[in-house]
Each structure stands twice: as C-alpha cells, then as structure tokens.
Structure 1
Amino acid sequence: MKPASFFRFALPCALALSSLVLPGTAAAQAYPAKPVRIMVGASPGGGTDILARVLAEKFGRDMKQSFIVENRPGASNTIAAEITARAEPDGLTLLLATNTGQAIAPHLLKLKFDPIKDLQPIGMVAVMPNVLVVSSASPYNNVKDLLAMMQAKPGDAKYGSSGLGSTQHIGGEAFNLATGTKAIHVPYKGSSQAHIDIIGGQVDMMFDTTSSAMAQIKGGKLRALAVSAPKRTPELPNVATLAEQGINGADVTTWYGLFVTRGTPPAVVARLSEQLLSTLQSPEVQTRIKSLGGEIELMSVEQFAKLNQGDFERYGKLVKAANIKAE
C-alpha cells in the first residue's frame, strides 16, 4: 500500500474509533446534564429519607445539578428498587437502598426484578446500629422490665417495623429467639408511621435504626432501652447493648448504600463513586451522619458489590433458619 493510500484508510478508521470512545467520555464529563432522582423506599422522615436528602444536597452543590429525593414506600423498600432497576441506564435514577430491600426482602417476596443483577452498586453510605425503643410514657425503663411483661403476658407484646423483611423485623424475630419470648410483628410503611403508634401506646416497642429513632429519642418521645450492636453508639453513650444486658445473638445493624440502574456507562458509575467518596469525607456530612448514630465506611464499587452479594446470601440463610414468611 502506498503512503497516501494508507493515510486515506487510516484517518477514517481513527475517526470511527474516536466516535466509539468519545461519547461515553463526553457523557461522563457532562453528567449529570439533567436533574437526577434519588429513589427512597421509605416514607419521609425515616432514616433512609434523611440520608438521601443529605446526599442530594451535597451532590447537587458539587455537581451543579438538581438531585431530587422521591419517596416510594412499601414492599420492604422494593418498590423504589424496582423503579430504579427498570429505569433508563443513564445515571439519572439512583437508589438509596438498605440491606432490607437488597438482602432480606428478596427471600420473602416474589419480585419482578433481580436486586443483584438489575442494580449496579455505587458505594456504602453508612452503617447504623438498631436500637430497642419504647414510648417514653411506658413503664419500661430497661430490657429487664420489658421481658418481665412479655413473660407474664405471652403473645401480648407487639413490635413495630418499617415493613416486612426489614432489619427492624429481623431484629424483632432475633430478639424473640434469643429470649424465648414471642412479640407479634406489626409492619408499617416506614419507621415514622410506626413511631406514631408506639408513642400512642398501640405498639409496645421497635428495633429501629438510630438514624430513624434518634430525633424522637432526643425529643423525649421515645426511650432507648438497648443498642442491638456489638458496642454502644457514641450518640447514646448511656444506653447499654443487648449483650451487656445479658441477651446474646440478637444484634442487627442496617447499612445504607447507593445504587444505579445496571447498564449505566462505567464512566458514569465511576463518577458517582468518586462523588460519593468525596461527599462522605466532607466534615459537614460526617457530622450529620454521626449525629444519627451512624458510622461511615468508605468502599470502592467492587468492595461494596462484594458486601452486597455476601449479605444477600447471609440473610437468605437467616430468613430460612428463623422460618420468616411473607405475612
């Protein structure tokens, strides 16, 4: 081939290759060109909603675009997850999920999507211990008082949760197993609705996340009896763990993580991961999460994907062992 012929052949090929590479790169650089939804599977005011709004504010400021929190409560957080799974893979629909929807509910509900295959992990946002709470007007000042009532009136006690298969639900069943008692599960569409009935005396207790319950605890409406985690939370230093009060094997924590529709361009996934890591290192965000009793654990996309898969398998075994059924 003569040199002139070679260049006439090579130039169109180079342009063709560049057309394959540049759009993805350009899309990532321009992302997000439109407002972004952050889907939340719980009601306004709950822990997931609070964290989503913290992220939306910081993401919006840094990325100079609107990030809008959209609440779609119900079905153990899976309604919001399905909307995200079925969205266009353009990075404009995000999901702030918990291990409730990602790792527990799929073993209890017949879903029309696969939370592992249809949702792309971005990263961990926070880990929250669950805390056993009762109404501040109740006569229970510690776990011993509560257990005395449960043992005197078997089957009378009721515990609330943010929904079937939530970590609050799992926490209640773990407590039943560990203490040999039987409190009846009462599911709600989010923690804030459950709080109303606990404060009103219709439900006795709840194993809620610190992120959801902290405002009511600090406001004097709910009383914290125990932290269901290996160690006390700094935000509730005087509240003993379940283990410190003689109850072992009932610890349950809740993690919150960011996901996007599977098939979203890798460059956009990387951009979201970068923004999340930057956000979580912001002093203002760290202060906000810690005030909710949460702990921040920075993870790469790959690390979070591994955790997500591992919890899916672990909770599947737990649901089977505890014989938890869809109600």
Structure 2
Amino acid sequence: MATPTRRHATVALAAFALALAAGAPAQAQGWPDKPLRIMVGASPGGGTDILARMLAEKFAAAFRQSVVVENRPGASNTIAADVAAHAPPDGNTLLLATNTGQAIAPHLLKLKFDPLKDLQPIGLVAVMPNVLVVSAASPYRSAKELVAAMADKPGQLKYASSGIGSTQHIAGEAFALATGTKAIHVPYKGSSQAHIDILGGEVTMMFDSTSSAMGQIRGGKFRPLAVMSERRAAELPDVPTLAEAGVKGADVQTWYGLYVTAGTPKAVVDALAAELAKVLKLPDVQARIKGLGGEVGALSGEAFAEMNRQEFERFRKLVRDANIKGEGL
C-alpha cells in the first residue's frame, strides 16, 4: 500500500500532468476559447499603447491565443473604457487604463458607464511620474525660467496634453495652481500628436508621462525641466523634482492598470491576475517599464481597487480646486 506521502506525490504529479495537457499556465476551464483584445484609450506610440503591446505579447504566449490591441483614442481615454465596460463579461475584452479615464474623466465628462462599478480591476501594471518637457530648441532651461515667462505673459504660453481630463491636463492645471500662473491648454488625441507641435514650436511645453516622453528625451528632442514626483526618476537622475525646482504641491503621476468587464467569472479574473503577476516579474518586462522611467506595479485585486477609489476622490478635489471644466458639464 502506498504511504500518505507517496499518495500525495502521485496526486501532485497527476495534477501537474493535467495542467501541462491543458497548457501552462493553469487557466479557467474553457477560457480563453477565442482571441483576446486589449482596449487602449490612446493612439499608437504612446505610453499606454507601449505597455499594452508588451502585455499582449506575453499573454498570447501564456494563454495560447492571439491578443489584439485596439486603439480607441479620444474622450479622455473613456471611449476604450466604455467598450470594455459594455462588453460581454467573458474575460475576452481587457482594458489597459490610466488614471485619466478611471479617476479624472468621471469628474469632467458625462459617461455611460461607472468606472468603479462596471470595470473589474485585475492589477496595477506600472506607475510613471509626469515630467515637464519643452523642445530642445526652447529658450527655457529650467522650471524657474518657465514660471517667470508664464508670469510675464499670463495666458499666452501654451501647454499640450493628450486630451481634456488627461493626467497631462491635470498636471498642467496643478502646476498653474501651485505657481499662480496661467497658460493655454491645447488638448490632442494622444501624446504622439502633441509631440509634433511641441517640436514644431506651436506649443511651449507638456507635462507628459515619462512613458511617452522618454523616447524624445533620449533622442535629444525634448528637454526635461522637472519630474512631478516626490523623488527623482531613476532614468532621469539629473532632472530635479518640481519641489527641488521651487514648485510644491503639484506632483502628478500616471498609473496604468489592467481591467476586465465587471461580472467576469472569478476563475477568469483569478487567471488573469495570476498571469499579470508573473509577467510583471519577468526581467525583460521590468527592464522595459524602468526604461520608460517608471516603477513596476505591485498591487492586485482589492488593493488596486482601493487605490483606484482613493485616486478617484483625490482628483475630484483637484478638479474642483483648479476649477477645471470638462465637456458637457
């Protein structure tokens, strides 16, 4: 007769064999049975798109299904979120969202979905500080010089964002509020389009996320003046924080999280969360996120949901204090 230890080993081996037969990693039974899609509320080439395509590649290999990234830019990232919120709750439609759509836009736009109720958080993917950038050809070489120019020319300088209610927009308004200055907000449908006008001299500055701006910074086309975080970015060690540059109370970071349609079976949610956790531990993924100037996410499930709720309330206050007006409100 087999000993208890030997019986346990036999059961474990049998379970492992079944998992291999079903394909690693172990997945919810019958899922996914068709290609997955990751909705992105920004245009190709921006930070959200970069991270989404990275996840799509890893998920395709893990789940043995093709994973397509669908870009639906506009309306502060909420067009893509709306699609995900109203998709069948089968786990086949994912959303890579930022705090733009999940915590800011609800206070500025009339939405047909509730970001806190209609989307199920899977996990935090990354956090990127926003960085104040100007063209390399700009005459401004420090945040102090830029603030002085804004004070001398109230309401004349322009700053770009990836849309009304985006973190770039909020960061710009927080900067103006903290410095007592005014600038004209010029919204675009994505960071990549905004970059064109900054380089062309049509817009003075941008409070972009490092994930979107690092390529232009490394290429010598953007001059970073300050990062909008408590400490300096690891990839920009020579760039001061706003506080170091003399501007306090205007820290803004962009976070990226993975969601699925609310009501998706728990087994599928758990499978996605487990795989995301594995992906975020991969050396190449960690290197990619750090190379974008950010930090790898370390929250999943309820912890990430609670962070989303706290950010929702934080930005509600900032929008009110800065008297930021959205479309239709």
TM-score scaled by structure 2? 0.90
Residues 111-135 of structure 1 show CA distances to partners (whole Å, capped at 9, x for unaligned) of 0111111101000000000000001
**Contact 2:144-2:246 within 8 A present in 1 as well:** no
Residue in 1 that maps onto 2:80:
80
AA paired with 2:308? Answer: N
The match for 1:20 is: none
Q: Root-mean-square deviation (CA), in Å?
A: 1.1
> 2:34 aligns to what?
34
SS at match of 1:30: coil
Distance 1:154 1:260 in 2: 44
Does 2:307 match 1:291? Answer: no
Structure 1 residue matching 2:244: 3-state secondary structure: helix
Q: How far 1:221 moved relative to its partner?
A: 1.1
Secondary structure of residue in 2 paired with 1:257: strand
Contact (CA 8 Å) 2:131, 2:207: kept in 1 or not? yes
Q: Which amino acid aligns with 2:262?
A: R
**Cα distance, 1:318 vs structure 2:** 1.6
- The aligned counterpart of 1:195 is 195
> C-alpha displacement at 1:323, in angstroms?
1.1
Provide the rounded CA distance (Å) in 2 between the counterparts of 1:224 and 1:268.
Answer: 42
Paired residue for 1:156? 156
Per the alignment, in what secondary structure is the counterpart of residue 230 of structure 1? coil
Whole-angstrom distance in 2 between the partners of 1:152 and 1:116: 42
Counterpart residue number, 1:128: 128
Mark the CA change 1:298 to 1:27 in structure 2 (over 3 Å): closer, same or farther.
Answer: closer
Deviates more, 1:91-100 or 1:60-69: 60-69
2:23 corresponds in structure 1 to: none
Structure 2 distance, partners of 1:29, 1:289, is 32
Q: Distance in 1 between matches of 2:279 and 2:188?
A: 31
TM-score by length of 1: 0.91
> Deviations 1:204-254 (Å, cap 9, x if unpaired)?
000000000000110111110100100000101110111001110011001
Q: Secondary structure at the match of 2:141?
A: coil
The structural deviation recorded for 1:297 is: 2.7
Distance 2:235 2:32 in 1: 36
Match of 2:243?
243
- The structural deviation recorded for 1:29 is 3.0
Q: Deviations over 1:172-202 (max 9, x none)?
A: 0011011111011111101111100000000
1:152 and 1:299 mapped to 2: Cα distance? 44
Higher helix share goes to which structure?
A: 1
Secondary structure of 1:211's aligned partner:
helix
Q: Within 2, Cα distance between the matches of 1:77 and 1:266?
A: 26
- 1:91-128 alpha-carbon deviations (Å, 9 max, x no partner): 11000000110000001100011111110100000000
Q: Which has the larger radius of gyration?
A: 1
Where structure 2 has 5 or more consecutive residues not aligned to the other structure, the ranges are: 1-25
Unaligned runs of 5+ in 1: 1-25
CA offsets, 1:279-304, max 9 Å, x none? 00000100000000010132221111
Contact kept? 2:160, 2:188, Cα under 8 Å:
yes
Separation (CA, whole Å) in 2 of partners of 1:43 and 1:279:
24
Q: Which residue of 1 aligns with 2:64?
A: 64
Using the alignment, how far apart are the partners of 2:173 and 2:193 within structure 1? 20
Aligned counterparts of 1:245 and 1:144: Cα–Cα separation in 2: 7
- Displacement after TM superposition at 1:322 (Å): 1.4
Give a deviation string over 1:36-84, Cα, whole Å, max 9, x none: 0000000000000000011111111122111111000000000000000
The AA in structure 2 aligned to 1:155 is G
Structure 1 counterpart of 2:222: 222
Q: What is the rounded CA distance, in whole Å, between the counterparts of 2:253 and 2:247 in structure 1? A: 16
- In structure 2, what is the equivalent of residue 114 of structure 1? 114
Letter in 2 for 1:181: T
1:83-102 equivalences under 5 Å are 83-102=83-102
| 2:270 corresponding residue in structure 1 | 270
Query: Hey, which bits of structure 1, 4+ residues long, moved more than 2 A?
Result: none
Q: Indicate the larger mover: 308-317 or 77-86.
A: 308-317
